Amino acid sequence: MRKSSTITALSDIAMAARRYSLVGMLGWQDVRQRYRRSALGPFWLTISMGVMIASIGVVFGQIFNSPMKEFLPFLAVGMIFWGFISSVITEGCTGFIAAEGIIKQLSIPLFVHILRVLWRNFLILAHNIVIFPLVLLAVGKPLSWIAFISIPGLLLVVVNLTWIALILGVLCARYRDLPQIVGSILQILFYLTPIMWMPDLLPKRAGLYLLDSNPVYHLLEIIRSPLLGQLPTTTNWEISLALALFGWFLAIAVYGRFKRRIAYWL
Amino acid sequence: MATIEFNNVCVDFPIYNANTRSLKKRLLQVATGGQLGADQQGRVVVRALEDLSFTFKDGDRVGLLGHNGAGKSTLLRLLGGVYEPSSGCARINGVIGSLIDISLGIDSEATGRENIYFRGGLLGMTRAEISKQIDDIIEFSELGNFVDMPMRTYSSGMHLRLAFSVSTILRPEILLMDEWLSVGDEGFKHKAEKRMTELVQVTNILVIASHSREVILDTCNRVIWLEHGRVRMDGDPESVVAAYFGG
Write the ipTM.
0.80
DSSP 8-class letter at B144: G
Task: Determine if residue A194 is left, alpha or beta; phi over 0 gives left, psi from -120 to 50 gives alpha, anything else beta.
Answer: beta
- What pLDDT score does A171 carry? 92
Range of the domain at A64: 5-265
Statement: residue A168 has pLDDT above 90:
yes
Q: Residue A76 and residue A82: Cα distance in Å, rounded?
A: 10
Of A37, A106, A174, the CB nearest to B122: A106
pLDDT single digits (tens) A198-254? 888 777 777 777 888 889 999 999 999 999 988 989 989 999 999 999 999 999 999
**Pairing outcome for strands B222-227 and B61-65:** parallel
Interface contact A101-B104, CB threshold 8 A = yes
Whole-number average pLDDT of chain B: 82
Among B82, B87, B118, pick the best mutation site for testing chain A contact (most A Cβ within 10 A): B82
Which amino acid is residue A97, in one-letter code? I
C-beta of residue B206 within 8 angstroms of C-beta of residue B60: yes
Q: Do B107 and A22 touch (CB under 8 A)?
A: no
What pLDDT score does A116 carry?
93
- CB B98 to CB A106 under 8 A? yes
Average pLDDT over residues A98-115: 88
Q: Is any Cβ of chain A less than 8 angstroms from the Cβ of B77?
A: yes
How many interface pairs between A and B have CB atoms less than 8 angstroms apart? 64
Q: CB B109 to CB A33 under 8 A?
A: yes
**Better-scored residue on pLDDT, A125 or B189:** A125
Position B21 pLDDT exceeds 50: no
Edge-to-edge strands, sheet with B3-15: B35-38, B44-56, B3-15, B87-93
Contact B78, B38 (CB under 8 A): no
Q: Return the top range by mean pLDDT from A47-61, B14-28, B214-228.
A: A47-61
- Structural domains of chain B sorted by starting position, each given as residue range(s) with its CATH number in brackets: 3-94+208-244 (3.40.50.300), 112-203 (no CATH)
Say whether pLDDT at A1 is over 50: no
For residue range A55-77, list pLDDT tens digits in order.
999 898 888 888 888 899 999 99
pLDDT(B97) > 90: no
Inter-residue contact A171 to A178 (CB < 8 Å): yes
- Report the alpha-carbon distance of residue A238 to residue B148 in Å, rounded: 51
CA B17, CA B13: separation in Å to the nearest integer?
12
Number of domains in chain A: 1
Residue B2 C-alpha from the chain's centroid: 17
**B85 interface with A at CB cutoff 8 Å:** no
Task: For residue A104, give the nearest of B77, B114, B127 by CB distance.
Answer: B77
